[in-house]
Structure 1
Amino acid sequence: MRNALASYRPTKPELAVFVSGITSMGLEILAVRIVAPQFGSHIYTVGGILTVLLAALSLGYWQGGKRAARATVREMVWLMLATAVYVAVVVYADELLLSYTSTLALPPRYASLPAVVILFGPPTYLLGFISPYAAELSRKRGVGEASGHVYALGTIGSILGSGATTFVLIPALSIAQIGVAFGLILVATAVALTLPSPPRRPTVASVAVVALLVVAASGTPAALDHRGDVVYETETAVQQLEVVDDGDVRTMYLDGARHSATDLEDPDRHVFAYTEYFHLPMLMADDPDEVEDVLFIGGGGYTGPQDFQRHYDVDVDVVEIDPEVTAAAEAYFGLEHGEHMTSHAEDGRQFLQNADEEYDVIVLDAYKKDQVPFHLTTEEFMQLAADRLSDDGVLLANVIAAPEGSGSEFYRAEHATAEQVFPQVYGFRTSDSDAVQNVQLVATKDDERLTREELERRTDERDLGVNLSDELRNRMDDPETDDVPVLRDDRAPVDTLLDPMFGQRYVIEETEDSEPTAANPAIVARAG
């Protein structure tokens, strides 16, 4: 067996189908990273990518099968080169095409489909021809054996392409570099298929395609970034990360969405007004001086955790699943680790399951407007958080939703879910509008419900360093929850609850000291 494997030499059709498997699946993984910053990484984007690429691949199989009787290795060479040319187009013009297609008048859940079709439909369609061609040119006896052999090789290539792109290439290289690498692999395979006597035309074409890939990687269409000056950007294993300066305000973007901001001239200022609400647990606690241990699930630019350290004598643990986000916070947002600030690079729920620590405050700040980790929303998670809280402990969850009406389903479901575990649950809106916004859900173990008057008295008496009078005026009555589910591990339809928000305005209020800019007139975006 070992000798047989050692002596095995793949035929040219086998090599072609193996490389097509690598490339097609690699492009599929890459598509998510390219499209998500513009359209979000919710289920409609991912499902749309899978649908379009599978449709394109099936169409390629069908057309290739019809032409397979006339298939030649030389035609496979031209298919490889044509695919590499289109990969160069994707590398060069993806942002331009994404921006253009995002303006099309489509329902939000379908908004990403035109971009996916234009960017990834043609190369996937071309690669679909390779498998039926390879089956026709196979040396195997019988249609069944030839087809099984070819599709096994293609699937092995797809496994390699998926694994290498996910675990090796994306953490190590930029999107453009990965695209160029796939293009070069296609060109190299095309050249290998012409050996030992490469014809002149395919050889010249191969050189031209390599030059095109190099040009595509070296520059993209010039575009003015309306957000400001991009001072840092990278592709992490989890998401796209950017740090952008707009005047004195520095903002961290994750997959194109704002997640943290700091005033470079006045680091104590809360740029995003909702971060002031993170201090509400210090009013809910019976004695803020007894608050010693605080946990943030979700770090971002670490503006919230650093603000807690500046205001209170507490130890702060931060669970941030993406270590490169923490590194960016250190480099660009003034984060300093020490005796009282510790970061943990792991999932928030897993951290709580393994934690021996008891916390006085837990701040859950790990939701995105278009993607919510459902396992951090359920009754089981709420019970786990309650178990890790002290007897006087408080949980605050930064929920992105509308406070009422259309788009409020997720907030109301979270409220109903928290009520299954915590005796008291409160809701605070952060904007006077009814648009999608950062709604703060606060849950306590206290059997006695705190009145508005009691909270106002506490904010007058307690020297927290943050005046929460305006925040207390934004306290809401308990929402109606009869029409929303309690979220549980075995049934948490979070994507369905987020669906009504897609296409609605998403408002992030800024503090009064902030000067509106062209990029952030009130910081208004589209949810989803």
Structure 2
Amino acid sequence: MKYYYHFLAFIGGFNIMLIEMCGFRVLQIHFGSSIYVTGLLLATIMVSLSLGYYCGGKISEKAKDLKPLLFPLIAAAGYICLFDIFLSGKICSVLFRLGGHVGYKVIPPSAATIILFSFPMLVLSLITPFLIKWLTINRQSLQLPTLGVGEIAGQLMAISTIGSVIGTLVTSFVFLPFIGIKLTYVIAIGLTLVAVTAGFYLSGLPGKRIGSIGTLAIILVMALIISAPKSNKDTVYEGESLYGHVDLRIHKAGTRDEVIVYKPSNIYTHTVYYPNNRLRNYFFLEFINYGLLFHAENYLMLGSGGGAVMKLLPELDSQASIIGVELDPTIIDISKKYFGVMTNEKVRLIDDDARAYLEKNKTKFDYVMVDVFRNDSIPAHCITKEFYDLVFSRLNDDGILFVNTNLLWQFLTTGLENYYDPLAHFCSTLFQAGFQSIYYNNHYNLGLLYAFKTKTSLTEIREKIKKEIADEKLDIDARISLALNYFSTIPVDEQWQNDSPFLDDSVPVHLIYSVDLRKFGGYEKRFRKAFNHPVWKKRRKNDNPDLKMITLRYLETKFNSPEQKQLNKSKYAQDILEWLAANDGLSSQAVIKYGLLREVEEHLLSNAEFVSDPKYKEVYHLILGQKLALAGVENGDREMLEEALLHLQKAM
């Protein structure tokens, strides 16, 4: 019988770590894998364990048999079956949506952790203190007369800890990668129920019939849940890899084009690729635009993901070679099977960490792309000066770096926000790594950066773009993408060179994550808190308002009747245009720079006076060109794209 108690202690430790490792993966899927999510999970579990140890000690003092331990274990198995297998996705989805209103980075993952894991952890932690007491008072019958309380406690805790070690390793390296989260939970439930059933029978307890019936009921429900078909008919692959959850879906975009979507979590979509309509993959064209523009011959892609860029580049430049480095071998297999990446002497995929690859490989490249940042987690070792020192050393003398940062630039601030600007510190990191010119592009609201190893002026870039898009031999999709890039790329603030860089020794990940990207949707939101500030009230009445004050005046009347709101919007757009004409000049670049395109678009296109006024020519052609480009891409209409290109050229 003593071996049963040792087995029970082992199973307790094993299941605690099994559930904890599953917890990391479950929260990663829904809330990301930031340091906040990790810290919240660990803290909540530790609180549950401490409560369980305390309660286990209390219960053991009053227990006359094993029933006070075995029945809670049955309840925990049923709880895991219901909440962690059956309801987990629904609970996390509801809490994720709630995150838009309360404590986005704290409350939803905290609530999910408490609901999903607290009760099972509390019950499993009852085992060790309960067994210490039970073996102590039953030493004679268990033939353990020579063991003291300390030795009994030491043995049980050692066995439980060994169970935890094995549970951690087996779950991490075997269960999650090969059978997934749900079946891993099934193993935990199965082991628990085996231990409970054995306990009833070995102890000769009168409740063994109830225990057996409860066990069978849980197993039956569990089997029905596991065998249920997937609810999402578009999912072609869903599973776990060594590095995270993989959800790949193929469905129709609108009524025509098939689209492949790879999502490692609910809050991050890594790849959206249209296999049958290259025109719609404009986002990925931004990755390689400057490589094509400066005639790069060999490319390196750090974080190749689904492989959309690896697929596009050979189609646009058959002479170019590219190496894609991807940490997750499962994603490499998916990129070949579903995204159609064909590896050959010019296209290679390597399974490795981005920084480790740079350390080991001394090859130099013309163009390096870094796409390892997510808006739910940023690998700290790939955002530091030391990392970009490596990148810099692997670029040829006239090499170019592209980074998809997921960090946004706040062009206009009130001066009252007191916010931490990670983009400024990241650009300082690049400057201090040796890059001479850095340009920012936010056409897709993802904060794309182009960094040049040698000094390169914006005028030089734009002249190259003009020349390139005039070449009809170049595909129309690449020409349109370059034309849009002409307007949406601007130099970063040179004063950022003086900000502190990210270093291996100090990456303030908590501050980077604290910037809620959803607050950056429009610059108007930045002024709401400053609206009633005494200094700003005075400035709003100024006869010569700046752009910030124009925005504040508009906000004062924004929520009137629909008719008045439309009049205010037209007046707002007109005030913006007049301000631009008097200050930066009424150019398409100025409109792009301040993110004002949406504010003036409707006003310009619906007002004949503005359409015919020569001084608004640039902005008018820019707006029309962008609208036609988007429509042409959506409809796969090359004639529309040709017309869009003409308008964009007139706006240059």
* Short-chain TM bin: 0.7 to 0.9
Structure 1 partner of 2:433: 421
Which amino acid in 1 is paired with 2:404? N
Structure 1 partner of 2:648: none
Is the contact between residue 437 and residue 453 of structure 2 (CA under 8 Å) also seen in structure 1? Answer: no
Q: Does 1:344 align with 2:350?
A: yes
Moved more, 319-328 or 134-143: 134-143
Aligned pairs (5 A) from 1:244-393: 244-247=249-252, 248-256=258-266, 257-266=268-277, 268-271=278-281, 273-282=282-291, 285=294, 288=295, 291-312=296-317, 313-393=319-399
Aligned pairs (5 A) from 1:344-493: 344-404=350-410, 409-431=421-443, 437-446=445-454, 448-451=455-458, 453-462=459-468, 465=475, 466-467=478-479, 468-479=482-493, 480-481=495-496, 484-493=499-508
Is the contact between residue 409 and residue 498 of structure 1 (CA under 8 Å) also seen in structure 2? Answer: no
Structure 2 partner of 1:242: 247
- Alpha-carbon spacing, 1:327–1:504, altered in 2? closer, same or farther (3 Å): farther
Higher-helix-fraction structure: 2
Structure 1 partner of 2:26: 34
Q: Which runs of 5+ in 2 are unaligned?
A: 253-257, 523-625, 636-652
Q: CA RMSD in A?
A: 2.5
**1:511, distance to aligned residue in structure 2 (A):** 5.2
**1:18, distance to aligned residue in structure 2 (A):** 1.2
**1:283, distance to aligned residue in structure 2 (A):** 6.4
- Alpha-carbon spacing, 1:51–1:211, altered in 2? closer, same or farther (3 Å): same
Q: TM-score, normalising length from structure 2?
A: 0.71
Structure 2 partner of 1:88: 81
Deviations 1:1-37 (A, max 9, x none): xxxxxxxx85333221210111011101101111222
Aligned pairs (5 A) from 1:122-137: 122-137=119-134
Moved more, 331-340 or 397-406: 397-406
1:145 corresponds to which of 145, 151, 167 = 151
Q: Does 1:158 align with 2:155?
A: no
Rounded Cα–Cα distance in structure 2 between residues aligned with 1:265 and 1:35? 34
Rounded Cα–Cα distance in structure 1 between residues aligned with 2:288 and 2:441? 14
Is the contact between residue 293 and residue 315 of structure 1 (CA under 8 Å) also seen in structure 2? Answer: yes
**1:484, distance to aligned residue in structure 2 (A):** 4.9
Rounded Cα–Cα distance in structure 2 between residues aligned with 1:244 and 1:283? 30
Rounded Cα–Cα distance in structure 1 between residues aligned with 2:28 and 2:630? 29
Q: Does 1:217 align with 2:221?
A: no
Rounded Cα–Cα distance in structure 2 between residues aligned with 1:330 and 1:478? 37
Say which SS state the counterpart of residue 115 (structure 2) adopts: helix
Rounded Cα–Cα distance in structure 2 between residues aligned with 1:423 and 1:205? 66
Which amino acid in 1 is paired with 2:55? Q
Which amino acid in 2 is paired with 1:474? S
Deviations 1:289-336 (A, max 9, x none): xx3211000111211122122112111100001111111111211111
**1:181, distance to aligned residue in structure 2 (A):** 1.2
Give the % identical residues: 23
Rounded Cα–Cα distance in structure 2 between residues aligned with 1:94 and 1:420? 46
Rounded Cα–Cα distance in structure 1 between residues aligned with 2:498 and 2:23? 36
Q: Which runs of 5+ in 1 are unaligned?
A: 1-8, 517-528
Rounded Cα–Cα distance in structure 2 between residues aligned with 1:78 and 1:24? 18
**1:460, distance to aligned residue in structure 2 (A):** 2.4
Q: Does 1:498 align with 2:513?
A: yes
Rounded Cα–Cα distance in structure 1 between residues aligned with 2:509 and 2:500? 10
**1:239, distance to aligned residue in structure 2 (A):** 1.2
Deviations 1:135-192 (A, max 9, x none): 1012464433332222222211111111111011111112111111111111111122
Which amino acid in 2 is paired with 1:136? K
Say which SS state the counterpart of residue 433 (structure 2) adopts: coil
Which amino acid in 1 is paired with 2:20? E
1:115 corresponds to which of 107, 112, 117 = 112
Moved more, 254-263 or 296-305: 254-263
Which amino acid in 1 is paired with 2:131? A
Say which SS state the counterpart of residue 372 (structure 2) adopts: coil
Deviations 1:237-292 (A, max 9, x none): 111111223312221112232111222331x2243x4322213433674xx1xx32
Which amino acid in 1 is paired with 2:71? W
- Alpha-carbon spacing, 1:10–1:325, altered in 2? closer, same or farther (3 Å): farther
Structure 2 partner of 1:59: 51
Return the structure number with greater relative CO, CA threshold 8 A, min gap 6. 1
Rounded Cα–Cα distance in structure 1 between residues aligned with 2:464 and 2:356? 35
Is the contact between residue 12 and residue 73 of structure 1 (CA under 8 Å) also seen in structure 2? Answer: no
Is the contact between residue 403 and residue 429 of structure 1 (CA under 8 Å) also seen in structure 2? Answer: no
**1:503, distance to aligned residue in structure 2 (A):** 5.0
**1:505, distance to aligned residue in structure 2 (A):** 6.2
- Alpha-carbon spacing, 1:283–1:416, altered in 2? closer, same or farther (3 Å): farther
**1:84, distance to aligned residue in structure 2 (A):** 1.0
1:73 corresponds to which of 66, 79, 91 = 66
Rounded Cα–Cα distance in structure 1 between residues aligned with 2:325 and 2:497? 33
Is the contact between residue 281 and residue 395 of structure 1 (CA under 8 Å) also seen in structure 2? Answer: no
Rounded Cα–Cα distance in structure 2 between residues aligned with 1:129 and 1:502? 42
Structure 1 partner of 2:597: none
Rounded Cα–Cα distance in structure 2 between residues aligned with 1:499 and 1:183? 37
Say which SS state the counterpart of residue 252 (structure 1) adopts: strand
Rounded Cα–Cα distance in structure 2 between residues aligned with 1:122 and 1:17? 18
Say which SS state the counterpart of residue 349 (structure 2) adopts: strand
Is the contact between residue 74 and residue 193 of structure 2 (CA under 8 Å) also seen in structure 1? Answer: yes
Rounded Cα–Cα distance in structure 1 between residues aligned with 2:279 and 2:298? 23
Deviations 1:482-518 (A, max 9, x none): 78531111111133222112654679x99554659xx
Q: TM-score, normalising length from structure 1?
A: 0.87
Say which SS state the counterpart of residue 173 (structure 1) adopts: helix
Say which SS state the counterpart of residue 87 (structure 2) adopts: helix
Say which SS state the counterpart of residue 58 (structure 1) adopts: helix
Say which SS state the counterpart of residue 174 (structure 1) adopts: helix
Which amino acid in 2 is paired with 1:383? D
Is the contact between residue 279 and residue 633 of structure 2 (CA under 8 Å) also seen in structure 1? Answer: no
How many equivalent pairs are there?
491
Is the contact between residue 422 and residue 443 of structure 1 (CA under 8 Å) also seen in structure 2? Answer: no
Structure 2 partner of 1:14: 6
Which amino acid in 2 is paired with 1:475? T
Is the contact between residue 410 and residue 497 of structure 1 (CA under 8 Å) also seen in structure 2? Answer: yes
Say which SS state the counterpart of residue 428 (structure 1) adopts: strand
Q: Does 1:168 align with 2:174?
A: yes
Say which SS state the counterpart of residue 396 (structure 1) adopts: strand
Moved more, 475-484 or 349-358: 475-484
**1:91, distance to aligned residue in structure 2 (A):** 0.5
Which amino acid in 1 is paired with 2:68? E
Rounded Cα–Cα distance in structure 1 between residues aligned with 2:187 and 2:194? 10
